[in-house]
Amino acid sequence: MALHLNLLHEEILEQRQRQRDPLKIGMIALVGCGVLLFLYYTWNAYRTLEIKSRLTTIERAWKKIEPGVTAAQKRVADLEGVIKTTRALDDYIDNRFFWAPVLQKVSRCVAPNTQLTNFEGAVQDENREIDVSLEGIAAGREPRSVAEDLRQMLLEQFHQSYSDVKAEFKTLEDLDTIVNVAGTHMATAHYILTVNFNPAAMPKPGESPAATRARKQ
């Protein structure tokens, strides 16, 4: 068996101890961490510059289109105002009351011996009811009966198109005046009739009551 002598044993041991020196290992680790941190912050700085560049590009583009966007927003606001006004006008038109059919019905009821001297009509805003006041003179052998016939005819005519119809005498009094109707002398009476009704069931002009009911259903 051969015998080997290591004359450099002490130097090799010292070299190994230097390689295992904790301070040196710590410095190497610290340098490694520093390099990693440098790379990390360098990457973040690059991303920050890229984001700032994109932001600058977007801001430039926004400055170009901002006047158009502002004008479009103003136009939208104007159009919304026009739409609201149009809807309000449409609601007003749809809910307006036509006096022509009322006058037509009254004309059908007024006979030559029931003269009208005054006609007034009003729409109640709170409940949309219609108030009509008719003033005139009735002539006949029994003028009060003539005025009553007028009231009944008004009820019949208004019931055909309206609901909640009421017709009452506010005033009915005999007069001393004698008039000549178709060559006949007749006594007279002064009357004031009030007619109240709800126009909710009234069909629109040119529309039959059956079509109105079908439309509501």
CA–CA gap between residue 99 and residue 197 (Å, rounded):
13
CA–CA gap between residue 21 and residue 28 (Å, rounded):
11
First to last CA, the chain: 122
CA–CA gap between residue 29 and residue 10 (Å, rounded):
28
DSSP structure class, residue 73: H
Specify the pLDDT at position 183: 80
Specify the pLDDT at position 123: 85
Amino acid found at 149: D
CA–CA gap between residue 189 and residue 142 (Å, rounded):
9
- Give the residue from 173, 59, 205, 193 showing the smallest Cα distance to 120: 193
Contact yes or no for 175/190 (Cβ under 8 A): yes
Specify the pLDDT at position 182: 77
CA–CA gap between residue 125 and residue 98 (Å, rounded):
15
- Give the residue from 198, 188, 185 showing the smallest Cα distance to 115: 188
Specify the pLDDT at position 213: 43
Could you tell me the strand order of the sheet in which 163-181 lies? 114-123, 130-140, 184-198, 163-181
Q: What is the pTM of this model?
A: 0.53
CA–CA gap between residue 110 and residue 98 (Å, rounded):
20
Write out the chain's pLDDT in tens, 217 residues: 555 555 566 676 777 666 666 667 777 788 889 889 999 999 999 999 999 999 999 989 988 888 888 899 999 999 999 999 998 888 877 777 788 889 999 999 988 888 899 999 988 876 678 899 999 999 998 999 999 999 999 999 999 888 889 999 999 999 888 888 778 888 999 999 999 998 875 545 555 444 444 444 3
Specify the pLDDT at position 28: 78
CA–CA gap between residue 128 and residue 132 (Å, rounded):
13
